[in-house]
């Protein structure tokens, strides 16, 4: 995990900058923001690392290191903002409590702090602002369509769109580096990584998404792998487990992820850390698929043999 361990010091500094930014908020909102930042600390919690690390990976040399840390701090704030918006979309307004209203206000402050940091580095006519507008639109369209269409596990742009604002980290560093000619390739590279990440997230969240499976690409794949007689079966955990244990749905997910890794690694000019990060996601899904197969193979030898392993653990 060098894509993470090599940058722990920078992440610490970026988080500190994010904490500084929220100190000016009204006290109740500041406390909530500080709690959220503590939870977002990737050194302690499972996290969408790429959102914060991308600017750091693309800071080729010392000239841009300081700016990359500041922008990484801004991306912590952006991640909290978009996370709050996602949460609020998932909960209907009729049940909003006073706390929910506060979170809506906090979301606005976080967004403004994120943009304020970007304004320190980029003038109003910088292409970065156009990119921010474009990526925010992609994210909004993805959120709008999430329940309107079945998630396609092979559609890279659709998968990546859910996290489109993350791409701004690449756009920003290339602008600072004076390498606009790399923008298109970098955007494509980040999209391949975000698509891989989304597949992994959908695999992680499958149980939570059973009541609304349309937006979950792993569940789309589950349906593909089920036999004809199960195509109209209602969604429940057992159905998904059948698809995994009997019909190879998780192996299928792993193959798609590996294909995305195979498409990223040969691209020129891509940060080796981005490639390594994506590969770690693919490796993780592959290990999970292998573990599921091993579980099934152990059970084939008999229930007693299967449980002997657990009887001895105690």
Contacting residues toward another protein, per CB under 8 A: 46, 48-49, 197, 200, 203-204, 207, 237-238, 240-242, 244-246, 277, 280-281, 283-285, 287-288, 291-292, 295-296, 298-312, 314
Q: Which is nearer to another protein, 89 or 299 (CB)?
A: 299
Q: Give Cβ neighbours of residue 106 (< 8 Å, ≥ 6 apart).
A: 25, 29, 32, 33, 84
State how far the Cα of 269 lies from the Cα of 273, in Å rounded to an integer.
12
Q: What's the CA gap between 56 and 64, in Å, rounded?
A: 9
- Which CA distances in Å does 215 have to 79, 157, 227? 20, 14, 21
Residue 211 or 268: which CB sits closer to another protein? Answer: 211
Is 235:150 a contact under the CB 8 Å cutoff?
no
134 or 284: CB nearest another protein: 284
Q: Which is nearer to another protein, 17 or 248 (CB)?
A: 248
**Min separation Cβ 286 and another protein, Å:** 9
> Distance (Å, rounded) from C-alpha 197 to C-alpha 183?
21
d(CA 309, CA 314): 10
Shortest Å, Cβ 44 to another protein: 11
Nearer to another protein, 72 or 282 (CB): 282
Minimum CB separation of residue 13 from another protein in Å reads 22
Report the nearest approach of another protein to the CB of residue 281 (Å): 5
Q: Which residue number, 86 or 91, has a Cβ lying nearer to another protein?
A: 86
Judge whether 197 and 163 are in contact, CB under 8 Å: yes
Q: How far is the CB of 111 from another protein (least distance, A)?
A: 25
Q: Specify the residue for token string 């990440």.
A: 197
Our CB check for another protein shows the closer of 45 and 268 to be 45
Q: To the nearest whole angstrom, how small is the minimum distance from the Cβ of residue 241 to another protein?
A: 3
- Asked if residue 27 lies in contact with residue 306, where contact means CB atoms within 8 angstroms, the answer is no
166: nearest Cα among 70, 42, 49, 275 = 49
According to DSSP H, which parts of the chain are helical? 2-5, 8-22, 27-40, 49-57, 62-90, 98-121, 127-145, 156-161, 168-177, 183-204, 217-225, 237-245, 249-264, 272-300, 303-313
Rounded least distance, CB 216 to another protein, Å: 14
Minimum CB–partner distance for residue 301 and another protein (Å): 8
Closest to another protein by CB, 14 or 285: 285
């Amino acid at each position: 995990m060098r894509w993470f361990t090599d940058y722990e010091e920078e992440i610490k500094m970026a988080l500190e900058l994010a904490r500084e930014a929220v100190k000016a908020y009204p006290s109740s909102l500041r406390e909530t923001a500080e709690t959220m930042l503590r939870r977002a600390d990737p050194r302690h919690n499972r996290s969408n690392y790429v959102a914060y690390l991308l600017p750091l990976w693309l800071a080729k040399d010392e000239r841009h290191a300081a700016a990359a840390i500041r922008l990484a701090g801004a991306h912590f704030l952006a991640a909290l903002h978009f996370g709050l918006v996602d949460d609020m979309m998932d909960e209907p307004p009729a049940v909003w409590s006073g706390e929910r209203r506060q979170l809506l206000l906090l979301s606005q402050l976080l967004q403004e702090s994120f943009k304020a940091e970007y304004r320190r580095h980029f003038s109003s006519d910088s292409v970065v602002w156009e990119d921010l507008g474009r990526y925010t639109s992609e994210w909004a369209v993805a959120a709008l369509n999430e329940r309107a269409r079945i998630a396609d596990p092979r559609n890279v742009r659709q998968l990546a769109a859910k996290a489109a604002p993350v791409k701004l980290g690449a756009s920003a560093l290339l602008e600072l580096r004076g390498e606009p000619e790399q923008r298109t390739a970098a955007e494509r590279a980040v999209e391949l990584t975000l698509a891989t990440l989304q597949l992994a997230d959908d695999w992680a969240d499958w149980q939570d998404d059973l009541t609304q499976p349309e937006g979950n690409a792993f569940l789309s794949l589950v349906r593909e792998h089920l036999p004809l007689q199960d195509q109209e079966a209602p969604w429940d955990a057992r159905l998904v487990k059948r698809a995994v244990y009997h019909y190879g749905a998780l192996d299928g997910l792993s193959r798609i992820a590996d294909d995305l890794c195979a498409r990223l690694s040969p691209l020129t000019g891509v940060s080796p850390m981005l490639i390594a990060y994506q590969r770690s996601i693919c490796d993780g899904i592959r290990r999970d698929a292998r573990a599921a197969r091993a579980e099934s193979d152990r059970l084939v030898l008999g229930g007693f043999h299967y449980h002997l392993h657990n009887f001895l653990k105690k």
